[in-house]
Amino acid sequence: MNKLVIVTGASRGLGLAICQQLLQAGYTVVALARTQTEALIQLQQAGLHFVAADLSELDKLPMLCSALIKQFGRPYALINNAAVGYDGVLATMHNSEINGLLNLNIQAPILLSKYLLRPMLLNQCGRIVNISSIIARTGFNGLSVYAASKAALEGFSKSLAREVGKAGITVNCVAPGYMQTDMTNSLQGNKLDSIKRRSPLGRLATPDDAAAAVLYLLSEQALAVTGTTLTVDAGSTA
Amino acid sequence: MELEQQIREALTKVALIADCTMVETINNNTVLLQSGLDSLGFAMLVAQLEEDLGIDPFSQMQIAVYPRTFGDFISIYRQALAQES
């Protein structure tokens, strides 16, 4: 298989799991992250291409996309996974944090989609998967801005799916539930235990569970799936 | 190759891919929205020209500009290429 997939936020957690599964499935993977981790270095030995990029620098995104296309060719898919989730009540959240979060979680995926969609249009084929969160629909105390960004991403995905469907491009979201990753470190202990207890499957979804959903959306079998959100939460929101 | 010719060739290529039926004659006064290419087709034209010419004048501009005619469209690319060199 010679399909190129670009994954953002690839250095750890879900992004890393997506890269691992993509490589195993034979995709050509370009991993974007601010810094290169040991895990990414190991994946490079398996053929992964790493490109250092700070996606919060929005002005640089057009040039970044152009450079990626020049270096690696037209992408088959883009996985918008990079995100931050500051935990804190809105009333005291600093405006710079609100701006930073919205830039990275919503503006960056929109701009990356804009520029990386173009070669997909020329190919009349492509996939965009945006990583949302169950919090976009359920809400969570202390994550209002994060929730807003994920809900925005879901709305964006639905409309974009309508816009580019006739060019053979699908746009979907994967909404993981609480996973044991660096991002949920602040939920350790009682909260995570309580989420596990309430889950129908009695466990948390793992990054590998969510990554498998991303791979499905990239597959030929998902050709008729667009404009939807695939929830992977071990049943927490059932 | 002359710029206008390159744009015309890209237009023909993209119209074929996008399955758009173009009007018979396209000259500088042809209104883009009446040329036969739909909005997604124009996005493809900009993408194709970015690959061919290495520039996207619309992203480089500080303000949003939407050319009305084919002549306006060529003029925007001509200016952008002049600024590049």
Provide ipTM, 2 decimals. Answer: 0.91
Report whether pLDDT(A184) > 80: no
Question: Cα(B36)–Cα(B33) distance, rounded to whole angstroms?
Answer: 7
Position A188 scores a pLDDT of 58
- Which residues of chain B make contact with A164, given a CB cutoff of 8 A? 40
Tell me the pLDDT tens digit for each residue of A195-214. Answer: 888 899 999 999 999 999 99
Map out the domains of chain B with their CATH numbers: 3-84 (1.10.1200)
Domain-located, residue A38 = yes
Domain-located, residue A169 = yes
Report whether pLDDT(A183) > 80: no
Q: What is the mean pLDDT of chain A?
A: 94
CA-to-CA dists, residue A237 to A82, A146, A208, A229, B18, angstroms: 23, 18, 19, 13, 41
CA distance A160 to chain B (A): 12
**DSSP SS3 for B30:** coil
Q: What is the mean pLDDT of residues A88-109?
A: 96
Domain-located, residue A237 = no
Q: How many domains does chain A have?
A: 1
Domain-located, residue A238 = no
Q: Confidence band (pLDDT; 50, 70, 90) for A24?
A: very high
Nearest to A49 by CA among A57, A61, A40: A40
Domain-located, residue A127 = yes
Question: Cα(B83)–Cα(A90) distance, rounded to whole angstroms?
Answer: 45
CATH code at A115? Answer: 3.40.50.720
- Which residues of chain A make contact with B41, given a CB cutoff of 8 A? none
Domain-located, residue A183 = yes
CB atoms A118 and B40 under 8 Å: no
Domain containing residue A180:
4-232
